[in-house]
Amino acid sequence: MAVKQTAGRDALGEFAPQFAELNDDVLFGQVWSREDKLSLRDRSLVTVVALMAQGLVDSSFQYHLTTAKHNGITRQEIAEILTHAAFYAGWPKAWAAFRMAKEVWNEEAGEDAKARHQKEMVFPIGAPNDGFAQYFVGRSYLSPLSTSQVGVYNVTFEPGCRNNWHIHHAVKGGGQILLCLAGQGYYQEWGKAPRPLRPGDVVNIPPEVKHWHGAAPDSWFSHLAIEVPGEDCSNEWLEAVTDEAYDKLR
């Protein structure tokens, strides 16, 4: 399967379209994608060592360490890899690489991930969303920002968490607006494809439309939920988004 990469086009698509194309389509789309010749895990190993040997500890190195972890290199293995490479590439380079590797492989601790997510936005994550927990799969948090005039809530979903299918009913006006703040998530209307959400995205949810929203499988996610005023507003909670349907997002 081809490795999807957009970093080149994202960063240099306009300035250097040829370079972006070589990066995304050839380096990643072809070379990285030849899994039948060399596994992603082994390619990560080679790449990390090559970058370390140059003394690179920039964002590209961090990206490749994170990818290496994703491709199955364990904490014990990266420690061994960097120790081994230190003798050939240079001791100070290993020191520099270890500093970053430690960050990447220590990320498992859940509290750290939550704290890092909080640093990405100005509004508080708030308290566990116990009042609505029965309508969510996974753990969510709720922080009421405005409870008069117009209700505004910061809703945070841990990775994999999503709310059940639901409908915001209203006779007139009503519905909900989502302003995405941090992390990556999804919004889906019944019968339509899931829409990926990133910070800065805005979702206008009309009344009477069955939908769900939540985090991506591997990312924390926060959005402001604005309750649009209307007549006879109520929420109807329906069935959960099944693991089977949600796992297709991966």
Under the rule (CB under 5 A), what is the footprint of Mn ion?
A: 176
Question: For residues 154 and 149, what is the distance between their CA atoms, to the nearest angstrom?
Answer: 16
Decide whether 176 or 184 has the Cβ nearer to Mn ion: 176
Angle between helices 40-53 and 75-89 (to 10 degrees): 40
3-state helix, strand, coil in the chain (%, to 5): 40, 25, 35
Structure-token pair, residue 193: 């494809």
Element (DSSP H or E) covering residue 60 = helix 59-70
- Least distance from C-beta 127 to Mn ion, angstroms? 20
| Residue 5: closest CA among 36, 47, 37 | 47
Residue number with CB closer to Mn ion (30 or 204): 204
* Minimum CB–partner distance for residue 4 and Mn ion (Å): 29
The CB-nearest residue to Mn ion is 176
Measured from the CB atom, is 28 or 186 closer to Mn ion? 186
Q: Which of 154, 176 has the CB closer to Mn ion?
A: 176
Q: For residues 65 and 215, which CB has a smaller minimum distance to Mn ion in the complex?
A: 215
Smallest separation (angstroms) from Mn ion to the CB of 151:
12
Residue 23 vs 176, nearer CB to Mn ion:
176
Query: In angstroms, what is the minimal distance from the CB of 187 to Mn ion?
Result: 8
Determine the Cα–Cα distance for residues 30 and 22; give it in Å rounded to an integer. Answer: 10
Instruction: Give me the least distance between CB of 205 and Mn ion, in Å please.
Output: 5
Nearest residue to 93 (alpha-carbon basis) of 134, 51, 121: 51
The CB-of-175 to Mn ion minimum distance in angstroms stands at 9
* Residue 29 phi, psi dihedral angles, 5° rounding: -65, -30
Q: Of all helices (H) and strands (E), which one includes residue 188?
A: strand 185-189
Question: What are the phi and psi torsion angles at 98 (to 5°)?
Answer: -60, -35
